Structure 1
Amino acid sequence: MKILIIGNGGREHAIAWKVSQSPLVESIYCAPGNGGTKDEYKCVNLNIKEIDDLVRFAKDEKIDLTIVGPEGPLVDGIVDRFKLEGLKIFGPSRHAAKLEGSKIFAKEFMKKYGVKTAEYESFGDLEDAINYINKCSYPVVIKADGLAAGKGVVICQNHNEAKDVLTAFMEKDIFNGSGKRVVIEEYLEGVEASILSITDGLTILPFISSKDYKNIYDGNRGPNTGGMGAIAPNPYFNEEVSMQFIRNILEPTLKGIKSEGMDYTGIIFFGIMITQKGVYLLEYNVRMGDPETQAVLPLMKSDFVELILRALDKRLSCFNIEWRDEFSCCVVGASKGYPGKYETGFEIKGICKAENKIFIAGASYENNNLITTGGRVLCSTATGETLKEATSRAYEDINKIHFEGMYFRRDIGTVN
């Protein structure tokens, strides 16, 4: 098979790495890919980004399967476009992708189908939103309605913080339209878990659980990022939590997908909060998480391509995903200043010394040197028989790597 993978981050490198292991696959094209996919087995990078160009390439090269990594193209309707041309593609339709593309749409969907989630109100007018925060209890969670690269959710401890966030989102428009409408949500105290899953629209099969570390600083402090590390499986996702998740979140979500007639063959990601009052859904993503993917896929024994083909054939109900009886840890190396302003263009050294897998997120080759190009630059990933062993190996590797201003958290896998 010829596979086309769309995206250029650490998640896409991990997908390409996993797909390359399948005996079904002969060649992989990564559009646009990065410095990691350039070196990956069976992979070739393509300098193609526009949907029309991707469609043309897939038709000309007779691509057998396209896998979409990031949420942007899904929300923009790339799946609908490919299907219109008779091309096989893995991902939800534009309408189904609104489960991630609009927080308001998602919350209304959850409410309609009885998915257990936090109480909320939605607003499109700044004055109305400020009137609401004048009388609500704190802390409170404010979410930009649209896509915001993982930075559109803020926990506000008091009224002044909430007012500043609303002003930044709705008036200053820091997310270029994505924060013009907001969700103001009840704050839930607990431990988060990420449950990546695959669906064919008839069945949802959950992957092994994981835990993402979103804050920039140790001790879960500082602003949210796209994710500074992840572990799998999540130690807090026990059998009782799993049962509550399936009963109160997964099953009503599947009912909603069916009832709404959504064209949904792809990944559905559940971000959940485990509290003393039960398990709540925080958000849907319609693609694989980053960096959760980098922690989860190394534990998957099953052929990922075969799994995707089963989903496309609507035959997931009879597929048993096999997992390694191990633990995984992923530590993200970021540019100085991320998630705010940061500089790029620095040479990365020491990757050849790593003994485990390094997934590249924001780096590309210039004159045969790997140079930083993004905020999150690389992901040091390792597995082990215990979480401590996996964590130790990931940190041993990332300590061998260096670029100017490199920053990483030092407590991934050791804090809640």
Structure 2
Amino acid sequence: MDSKRFLFVSLDAALIGDVAWQVSREGHDVKYYIEAESDKEIADGFVPKTDDWEAELEWADVIVFDDIWVGSEVGTGKLAEDLREDGHAVVGGTPNTDRLEEDRGYAMEVLEDHDVTTLDHREFSDFGAAIDYVNENPAPYVIKPLGEVQNVKRLVYVGREDDGSDVVDVLRAYEKAWGHRMKGFQLQRRVEGVEVAVCGFFNGNEFVEPINFNFEHKKLFPGNIGPSTGEMGTSMFWADPNDLFERTLGKLADFLAEEGYVGSIDLNCIVNDNGVYPLEFTPRFGYPTITLQEESFESPTGQFFYDLARGEDPNLQVHQGYQVAVRVVLPPFPFDDEKTYDENSRNAAVVFDTDSREGIHIEDAKNVDGQWRAAGESGMPLVVTGKGETMGAAREQAYGRIDDIVIPNLYYRDDIGERWIDGDGDRLLSWGYLGPA
């Protein structure tokens, strides 16, 4: 493939630096725009930057948006839609696909309209009404904030008591602490099972094969304990469209084609022997999911996005085994505390015990005269990946690579991928969801 020009755009947090770096290393011309002042140094020394993304539109062969947010508002879908109408090749959503993430009630309506089974759910803007509802309908529920605070992951609460009493207690606490900001939330019935996300790349017309199946690890500590984070790590594999895909994302192909959606779309589900129950959409790249997907590509990343943005089949070739990604973080992640970050993590040096950088991916990092350092203010400098014919082999490679990294005060979960080994894989196979469509 001849060299192409790629413009990567982060209009909220800087998230797409590693993909931009990979495309640049493949010989393409890359420019990266970061809106947030606190993130502007992220990926410095790894990829070329621009201070005005709109001035680069005519220069770019492909424009890639990394999220749905423009600051505190949802909006990249509208930008991407308008640019496509003007003849640009864009990886990005539409206003309606952005809404799948921003408006959980709308997302459930879309699923139901396309004959996808959903869990019982209800939206509330009044805490008292929600408490009355739980008392009148005792059951375990999940509290999912809506709107501005939905990205504060620690506010998602998974009920444990069969009568919903703990959910009532948490709602009362949230009303006192977050009532001024939490303008709405969804209560969704909790079910037991295996949590798995079905993820496909869509080229504006159809899904690209193969399909990705991944397992998120959102809690801070091993054993799924502690506060929720954006993500501490991911395990995954790729497969042809199967029963799990056909029951979920496969039913939305016409909807996505009507929208002209281009990019990654992920539907997180709970699966048990009674059925498949979607939980939430990610109509954009997931993080660090896209990093691990990129690592597992065996065909060029730049070619993939170039073809995807033009509605073509990229003929994607991927690693045929299993993959694991581990997020390596620094204090005070996942919390915001400027003093703690300044004292422990700002500009922290990343030291490697070997010359190899295989499986080492940047997140909030910069390169200063050859020295990798932590950048930004979030405390997420690296994602480390591994691949193998088994999940255990992928884990071994990833954690072996982490052992060769030295950053003062680093921490990470050491159990990414264990759920698959400990029984999730056997359960999904025995229930038949991973077999032929």
- Structure 1 and Structure 2 fold alike (TM over 0.5): yes
Of 27, 30, 33, which residue of structure 1 is paired with 2:32? 30
Partner of 1:213: 217
Partner of 2:69: 72
Check the 8 A contact 1:10/1:359 in 2, yes or no. no
Partner of 1:190: 193
Of 166, 183, 187, which residue of structure 1 is paired with 2:171? 166
Rounded Cα–Cα distance in structure 2 between residues aligned with 1:120 and 1:184: 6
Rounded Cα–Cα distance in structure 1 between residues aligned with 2:172 and 2:381: 31
Instruction: Give the match's secondary structure for 1:353.
Output: coil
Of 281, 284, 301, which residue of structure 1 is paired with 2:281? 284
Rounded Cα–Cα distance in structure 1 between residues aligned with 2:198 and 2:21: 21
Partner of 1:45: 49
Partner of 2:318: 323
Partner of 2:328: 333
Tell me the CA shift for residue 36 of structure 1. Answer: 7.0
Tell me the CA shift for residue 21 of structure 1. Answer: 5.2
Check the 8 A contact 2:140/2:167 in 1, yes or no. no
Q: Structure 2-normalised TM-score?
A: 0.80
- Whether 2:113 is the aligned partner of 1:89: answer no
In structure 2, relative to structure 1, the CA distance for the partners of 1:349 and 1:139 (3 Å cut) is: same
Check the 8 A contact 2:263/2:285 in 1, yes or no. no
Tell me the CA shift for residue 31 of structure 1. Answer: 1.9
Check the 8 A contact 2:146/2:186 in 1, yes or no. yes
Q: Which aligned pairs between 1:257-276 and structure 2 lie closer than 5 A? A: 257-258=256-257, 261-276=258-273
Check the 8 A contact 1:34/1:363 in 2, yes or no. no
Tell me the CA shift for residue 275 of structure 1. Answer: 1.4
In structure 2, relative to structure 1, the CA distance for the partners of 1:80 and 1:21 (3 Å cut) is: same
Partner of 2:229: 225
- In structure 1, give the amino acid aligned to 2:120: E
Rounded Cα–Cα distance in structure 2 between residues aligned with 1:120 and 1:246: 22
Partner of 1:247: 246
- In structure 2, give the amino acid aligned to 1:102: D
Partner of 2:123: 122
Check the 8 A contact 1:79/1:92 in 2, yes or no. yes
Rounded Cα–Cα distance in structure 2 between residues aligned with 1:55 and 1:85: 13
Partner of 1:109: 110
Unaligned runs of 5+ in 2: 421-437
- In structure 1, give the amino acid aligned to 2:250: E
Rounded Cα–Cα distance in structure 1 between residues aligned with 2:110 and 2:172: 27
Unaligned runs of 5+ in 1: none
Of 392, 396, 407, which residue of structure 2 is paired with 1:392? 396
Rounded Cα–Cα distance in structure 2 between residues aligned with 1:407 and 1:399: 12
- Whether 2:412 is the aligned partner of 1:408: answer yes
Tell me the CA shift for residue 150 of structure 1. Answer: 4.3
Check the 8 A contact 1:351/1:358 in 2, yes or no. no
Tell me the CA shift for residue 85 of structure 1. Answer: 5.6
- In structure 2, give the amino acid aligned to 1:37: A
Of 379, 382, 386, which residue of structure 2 is paired with 1:382? 386
Tell me the CA shift for residue 133 of structure 1. Answer: 1.6
Rounded Cα–Cα distance in structure 1 between residues aligned with 2:109 and 2:359: 40
Percent identical pairs in the alignment equals 21
Partner of 2:291: 294
Tell me the CA shift for residue 352 of structure 1. Answer: 6.1
Tell me the CA shift for residue 323 of structure 1. Answer: 1.4
Tell me the CA shift for residue 22 of structure 1. Answer: 4.5
Q: Note the alpha carbon deviations across 1:121-152, whole angstroms, 9 max, x for none.
A: 11122221111121334431111123415445
Pairs aligned (count)? 394
In structure 2, relative to structure 1, the CA distance for the partners of 1:389 and 1:38 (3 Å cut) is: farther
Check the 8 A contact 1:335/1:375 in 2, yes or no. yes
Tell me the CA shift for residue 80 of structure 1. Answer: 3.6
Rounded Cα–Cα distance in structure 1 between residues aligned with 2:380 and 2:140: 29
Tell me the CA shift for residue 365 of structure 1. Answer: 5.5
Q: Which aligned pairs between 1:124-163 and structure 2 lie closer than 5 A? A: 124-146=125-147, 147-148=150-151, 150-158=153-161, 159-163=164-168
Instruction: Give the match's secondary structure for 1:195.
Output: strand
In structure 2, relative to structure 1, the CA distance for the partners of 1:363 and 1:14 (3 Å cut) is: closer
Check the 8 A contact 2:296/2:319 in 1, yes or no. yes
Check the 8 A contact 1:9/1:360 in 2, yes or no. no
Rounded Cα–Cα distance in structure 2 between residues aligned with 1:414 and 1:152: 25
Partner of 2:359: 357
Tell me the CA shift for residue 375 of structure 1. Answer: 3.4
Tell me the CA shift for residue 229 of structure 1. Answer: 0.9
- In structure 1, give the amino acid aligned to 2:32: C
Rounded Cα–Cα distance in structure 2 between residues aligned with 1:250 and 1:168: 36
Of 5, 23, 32, which residue of structure 1 is paired with 2:8? 5
Check the 8 A contact 2:217/2:231 in 1, yes or no. yes
Tell me the CA shift for residue 38 of structure 1. Answer: 3.3
Tell me the CA shift for residue 309 of structure 1. Answer: 3.5
In structure 2, relative to structure 1, the CA distance for the partners of 1:294 and 1:35 (3 Å cut) is: farther
Check the 8 A contact 1:211/1:233 in 2, yes or no. no
Tell me the CA shift for residue 300 of structure 1. Answer: 1.4
Rounded Cα–Cα distance in structure 2 between residues aligned with 1:353 and 1:169: 47
Check the 8 A contact 2:327/2:412 in 1, yes or no. yes
Instruction: Give the match's secondary structure for 2:136.
Output: coil
Q: Note the alpha carbon deviations across 1:66-93, whole angstroms, 9 max, x for none.
A: 1111231493133145346654321111
Check the 8 A contact 1:212/1:291 in 2, yes or no. no
Instruction: Give the match's secondary structure for 2:226.
Output: strand
In structure 2, relative to structure 1, the CA distance for the partners of 1:133 and 1:348 (3 Å cut) is: farther
Partner of 2:427: none
